[in-house]
Amino acid sequence: MNIVVCLKITPDPEDLEIGPDGSVSTTHAEWKTGSFDLPALEAGVRLAEMHGGKVIALSAGTSQINQSKVRKDILSRGAEELVLVVDDALKDASTAETALVLEKAIRKLTDVQLVLFGEGSADLYFQQTGVQVGERLGWVTLNAVQDVRLLENEALEVQRIVEHELQVLDVPLPAVLCVTSDICEPRLASMREILRASKKTVFEWSLSDIGIEGLTPSVEIVKVMAPPRASRKGEMLSGSVEEMVSALVNNLRKDGVL
Amino acid sequence: MSEEKLDVIVVGAGVAGCSAALLLARAGLQVALIERGPYPGSKNLSGGVLYGRVLHQIIPDFWEQAPVERFITNQVVTFLTEDSSISLDYKTEAFSQPPYNAFSVLRAKFDRWLGDQAEAAGALLVPGIKVDRLIVDGEKVIGIAAGEEEMFADVVIAADGANSFLAQQAGLRSRLPEEHVAVGIKEVIALPQDVIENRFRLNGNEGCAFNIVGSATQGIAGGGFLYTNRDSISVGLVIQLADLIERQIKVTEVFDHFLQHPFIDSLIKGGKMMEYGAHLVPEGGLRMMPRLFMDGMLVIGDAAGLTINNGFWVRGMDLAIGSAIAAAEAVIRAHESRDFSEQSLALYHQKLSESFVMADLQTYARAPHFMQNPRLFNVYPQVLRDIFLGIYEQSARPNQHLMTIARRAVQQNDLSLLDLLKDLWNGARAL
Amino acid sequence: MEIQRQIFIFSEDITLVRELIGAAQVLAEGKPAILSALVIGGSTSVEQMQNTGVDRIYRLDTLPPDCLVEDIFQTLWGITQEIKPDYLVIGATTAGRLICGRLAARLNATALTDIQSMEFDAQGLLIRHMVFGGGAQRLERPLRQPVVMTIGKGQFEFQAAHSEKVAEVIPVAFTPPETRAILRERRELPPVSVNLAEAKRVVCPGRGIARREDLTMVEELAHSLGAEIACTRPLSEGLGWLPRERYIGISGAYIKADLYVGLGVSGQVQHTIGITDARVVVAINRDAEAPIFKQADYGIVADLYEVVPALIDALRSA
């Protein structure tokens, strides 16, 4: 059984730079696999380790995602192969375009029974792409999955937390599951795995390799800006601890919050 | 837990480590390059100026693809007192075409590129792993361990920096004595490209390097530097650790004082602080050099104490590369003859001695001691200041001869003729 | 005659449906539009929807007992095929997100999620939502039709423009899904210990708290202030010191309290996005460079282990 885990490689949100005019830039950001995607990869790898099968990591994006450090990182976490759909037409791709690309890529792979996604991408967190891929493939699709087990009859037993309810479900294969970060802790790559990573195969496909001749965008990004912020007083208290505490209490009284 | 034994393990993906891994991979050896940071360069800091000819030998015309900042055409030595600066400013066209002479670099970018070259040549880069210890069999080093994981190889090359833990563990050196270590502290200050080019009178991608002596360090042994990058300035101090500890002054205090000096301030004015860092710098030179090799192991780069500061310039990266070249030769020969004993690896030391690396270390063997002479930072800048003040000041009183001015300056600053002569003599020998 | 906009709304959460109506009102742009809603529930639910401006209420009595909310998809799909809406507005619950995604994929539509605000310009609809974990906001224009969107609680208000309109109520039959997951067990989770969204005062420990045992001191302070205890994500998801519902941040709780006191909180965007509506923000952190100080009304740069006991004392003696 092949398990595909979809990962999004994005600029690290921690490296976001906000200009004085409120403009936002990721020019100096480090590109990394999304932090919500790593638990999904770990979950897939554990399933493969327990029940046999192979994990194929899949990602789509511009040439920015095709970095040695990123490839090595993914392959050192237990994925056997990495498929990268690389095309600069994917710049600013939103969920609809990405879902189409991933669907086509998954169909090109053989013997895929399960596709895993994280709960959302690190940069946009729209929580849509996995669900859209599932619908496009026509497979049973669930989100908010907290636990996955393989049953003997080739079905999965899945736990979901939905608002205030815990659900236990039998999911027939093939299926697409969007898992939460709680599902498991991603492993720390060992030296051995990092070395092995250099020997694993990376497939690079273009959009035409997967039968896509052109992508029509689903959104136009008009502007990206710093979020509106409440303007705060920014009053820094000074003096000894007692003095500062006293001043604080007085201020809070005056403001009417105490 | 070992699967396959590697030919070489290089610990530390700095300039020395990456260069060694690159050369060994090119020769077809299976080499792992282990780095504790997330990528090569993430934990490194240099002033930094790279004297590039030796790198050009192993990567011809590297400046065309490497992320170097500016090629240095203007070298300045500046003496600072509290209210004055006296500079020797050398600018030349001789350094403004390939193969150039020196480049300002930012290590996080540069080392990363160098690591990529090593990987492209076939080296196996292993980032994010901290090597804890050597694995030794009797007297022979046979591998390294990180946590519970072990990796074995015919040779381990320790390129793990100024405070080389591996060299200590192997018994090749003892803990660095404080008087042989300096603390380098620097800021990278962003300034628009055109401001830099205007302010420093640079044409295009030319660059400027300042070596600064004097009140910059409040009388503590050490010196300052200022280098122009593409759109930022690297400015910092290298201060002797022992002196700092003895005087109980915080390094940040000295650094702030330095940055506020009018001479420095005028050069960095209007800039925005982007990065701030500190790093150890080995300063002992030849006197402090550890043993460099033993059965199954070599030590290169800063770990081997290969740095020189002669007051006019500071070098470390080019010596690191030189040592990597010598080490690679020795390891390749050892690999061919399947002999990784100390006798076989002695070729490393031999090659090092035949190269500019040892030669320069010999030449400047006395430099570390000379550079720690307190008169260098306390007295001479002041003397120079007084001399030039005497020369230029027109106080509506009669002028004096140069000799008189000089003598007066020397006396005013309690500089005995004996000390002056001694220093001139020592300086001549050391530099 | 102008073609009327068709707007379709759905949420299993009836309180959220009212906010979706508010969003639909914005989408109508003051022009005539036909607003249809799918409601699961009895006559009370339908009653609540009358005179709200909804034109058609598609009513499904109940879901079959072993069905998930998500299993309503086929039924919902049938309705949308009939109406052919221009906008599909779904409540941003877990089920809602799933339904939104499936709709968007089937319709090859633009999906817009967690919309914070909407406006129109000459070319049409524009929406805003957060990206980069709260670090930035994006203004987007959907380029495809129809547009499928999710809207979460608290973003849109229902404008009580009292409508004389009596909605047409259309009963619908449940269309079972083609393939589905089989529900084996469902359990109500224990009720949340706290509703931070309603708390008047909040004390929030962060990574500056060294040990779990130190939370006792935090509890004492909260008690003196009459405050609820929240936390930053690492303390709940990472360390497990406090339950999930207590963490404030991008995927956690958003507070509207009068007072927020951060103890050893560095102030990363992913957390502070949850406190922007707090009236007064107090930050205590020994790192003067901590970003939280830029988002605070009052800042104290000191060791929280000294400040907190002093603050408890001051409150007690006052």
Q: Where are the domains of chain A?
A: 2-210
Residue C234 has pLDDT above 80, yes or no: yes
* C51 or B188, higher pLDDT: B188
> In C, residues 273-302, which contact A (CB 8 Å cutoff)?
273, 276-277, 279-282, 293-302
Kindly state the average pLDDT of the residues B362-374. Answer: 79
pLDDT in tens, chain A (258 residues): 899 999 999 999 888 888 888 899 999 899 999 999 999 999 999 999 998 899 999 999 999 999 989 999 999 999 999 999 999 999 999 999 999 999 999 999 999 999 999 999 999 999 999 999 999 999 999 999 999 999 877 899 999 999 889 999 999 999 999 999 989 999 989 999 999 998 999 999 999 999 999 999 999 999 999 887 778 999 999 999 999 999 999 999 999 988
Q: Which residue of A has its CA nearest to C269?
A: A14
CB of A228 within 8 Å of a chain C CB? The answer is yes
What Cα–Cα distance (Å) separates residue C63 from each residue in C12, C71, C77?
Answer: 11, 8, 15
Q: What whole-number distance in Å separates Cα of residue C130 and Cα of residue B91?
A: 53
C182 phi and psi angles, rounded to 5 deg: -95, 125
Q: Which residue of C has its CA nearest to A258?
A: C225
Contact A194 B3 (CB under 8 A): no
What Cα–Cα distance (Å) separates residue B164 from each residue in B12, B169, B173, B255, B321?
Answer: 10, 9, 9, 26, 17
Residue B170 has pLDDT above 50, yes or no: yes
Take residue C20 and report the two structure tokens written for it.
């979706």
pLDDT for C165? 76
Number of alpha carbons in the 13 Å side-chain half-sphere of residue C12: 20
Contact A68 B126 (CB under 8 A): no
Full-prediction pTM beyond 0.90? no
Kindly state the average pLDDT of the residues B170-193. Answer: 84
- A188, with CB counted inside 10 A (0-12, 13-18, 19+), is exposed
Over residues B8-18, the pLDDT tens digits come to 999 999 999 99
Q: Tokens 């001691």 — which residue?
A: B369
Contact A72 B125 (CB under 8 A): yes
Contact A195 B146 (CB under 8 A): no
Q: Which of C70, C136, C143 sits opposite A227 (nearest CB)?
A: C136
CB of A52 within 8 Å of a chain C CB? The answer is no
DSSP B191: -
Contact A68 B116 (CB under 8 A): yes
Q: What whole-number distance in Å separates Cα of residue A108 and Cα of residue C141?
A: 32
pLDDT for B1? 38
* A93 or C270, higher pLDDT: A93
pLDDT for B46? 83
Percent pLDDT > 90 in chain B is: 58
Take residue B172 and report the two structure tokens written for it.
């090749």
- Residue C238 confidence class, pLDDT cut points 50, 70, 90: confident
Give the strand order in the sheet containing A54-61: A201-205, A81-86, A54-61, A2-6, A112-117, A175-179, A140-150, A155-162, A165-172, C182-188
pLDDT for C127? 96
Q: Which of A69, A194, A198 sits opposite B129 (nearest CB)?
A: A194
Kindly state the average pLDDT of the residues B318-336. Answer: 97
Give the torsion sign (CA, B389, B393, B399, B401): positive
- Residue B238 confidence class, pLDDT cut points 50, 70, 90: confident
Tell me the chain B residues in contact with residue A189 when contact means C-beta distances shorter than 8 Å: 128
Residue B153 has pLDDT above 50, yes or no: yes
pLDDT for B395? 85
Contact A69 B1 (CB under 8 A): no
Residue type, B259: L
CB of A28 within 8 Å of a chain B CB? The answer is no
Contact C143 A218 (CB under 8 A): yes
pLDDT for A93? 95
Q: Which of C143, C188, C310 sits opposite A245 (nearest CB)?
A: C310
* B252 or C238, higher pLDDT: B252
Residue B168 has pLDDT above 50, yes or no: yes
CB distance B235 to B189 below 8 Å: yes
CA geometry: angle B29, B30, B35, nearest 5 deg: 120
Kindly state the average pLDDT of the residues C188-211. Answer: 88
pLDDT for C147? 96
Task: Give A18→chain B minimum CA distance, Å.
Answer: 14
Which stretches of C189-291 are assigned E, i.e. beta strand? 201-205, 228-229, 259-263, 280-285
List the domains of chain C with CATH numbers. 5-171 (3.40.50.620), 196-317 (3.40.50.1220)
Q: Which of A157, A219, A245 sits opposite C140 (nearest CB)?
A: A219
Tell me the chain B residues in contact with residue A69 when contact means C-beta distances shorter than 8 Å: 38-39, 127
Task: Give A195→chain B minimum CA distance, Å.
Answer: 7
B181 phi and psi angles, rounded to 5 deg: -125, 140
CB of A77 within 8 Å of a chain B CB? The answer is no
DSSP A181: G
CATH C-level class of B179-282:
alpha beta
Tell me the chain A residues in contact with residue C302 when contact means C-beta distances shorter than 8 Å: 241, 244
* C261 or C52, higher pLDDT: C261
Tell me the chain C residues in contact with residue A182 when contact means C-beta distances shorter than 8 Å: 237
Contact C105 A163 (CB under 8 A): no
B70-102 in b/e form (b: 16+ CB < 10 A) is: bbbbbbbbbbbbeebbbeeeebeeebbeeebbb
Over residues B22-36, the pLDDT tens digits come to 999 999 999 999 999
CB of A153 within 8 Å of a chain C CB? The answer is no
pLDDT for B417? 82
Percent pLDDT > 70 in chain B is: 98
CB distance B319 to B288 below 8 Å: no
Task: Give A207→chain B minimum CA distance, Å.
Answer: 26
* B178 or B405, higher pLDDT: B405
Over residues C275-292, the pLDDT tens digits come to 988 999 999 999 988 989
Instruction: Please tell me which chains touch B, using 3 or more CB pairs under 8 Å as the contact test.
Output: A
Instruction: Please tell me which chains touch A, using 3 or more CB pairs under 8 Å as the contact test.
Output: B, C
Over residues C299-308, the pLDDT tens digits come to 999 999 999 9
What Cα–Cα distance (Å) separates residue B301 from each residue in B216, B292, B414?
Answer: 28, 10, 41
Query: Domain B6-67+106-173+290-365, CATH 3.50.50.60 — does that match?
Result: yes
pLDDT for C310? 94
Question: Do C and B touch (≥3 CB pairs < 8 Å)?
Answer: no
Over residues C20-58, the pLDDT tens digits come to 999 999 999 878 899 999 999 878 888 888 888 899 999
Over residues B93-117, the pLDDT tens digits come to 999 999 999 999 999 999 999 999 9
Top residue of A21, A27, A132, A161 to mutate, by most chain C CBs within 10 Å, is: A132
> In C, residues 175-194, which contact A (CB 8 Å cutoff)?
179-189, 191-192
Prior bond of C146 cis (ω within 30°): yes
pLDDT for B290? 80
pLDDT for C162? 63
pLDDT for C1? 56
Tell me the chain A residues in contact with residue B119 when contact means C-beta distances shorter than 8 Å: 68
Q: Which residue of A has its CA nearest to B145?
A: A191
Q: What whole-number distance in Å separates Cα of residue C212 and Cα of residue A17?
A: 34
Kindly state the average pLDDT of the residues B380-397. Answer: 87
Q: Where are the domains of chain B?
A: 6-67+106-173+290-365, 179-282, 375-430
Kindly state the average pLDDT of the residues B225-238. Answer: 94
Q: If you count residue pairs, one on A and one on B, with CB atoms under 8 Å apart, how many are there? A: 30
Q: Which of B34, B119, B149 sits opposite A68 (nearest CB)?
A: B119
B412 phi and psi angles, rounded to 5 deg: -55, -30
Contact A192 B39 (CB under 8 A): no
CB distance C153 to C113 below 8 Å: no
Mean pLDDT estimate for chain B? 90
Q: If you count residue pairs, one on A and one on C, with CB atoms under 8 Å apart, how many are there? A: 243
3-state secondary structure (DSSP) of residue B150: strand
Domains B6-67+106-173+290-365 and B179-282 share a fold: no
Residue C251 has pLDDT above 80, yes or no: no
Residue B2 has pLDDT above 70, yes or no: no
> In A, residues 198-227, which contact C (CB 8 Å cutoff)?
216-227
Over residues A152-210, the pLDDT tens digits come to 778 999 999 998 899 999 999 999 999 999 899 999 899 999 999 989 999 999 999 99
What SS3 string covers C9-66? Answer: EECCCHHHHHHHHHHHHHHHCCCCEEEEEEEECCHHHHHHHCCCCCCEEEEECCCCCC
Which stretches of B147-265 are assigned E, i.e. beta strand? 149-158, 181-190, 206-214, 222-228, 232-240
Q: Which CATH architecture has domain A2-210?
A: 3-Layer(aba) Sandwich (3.40)
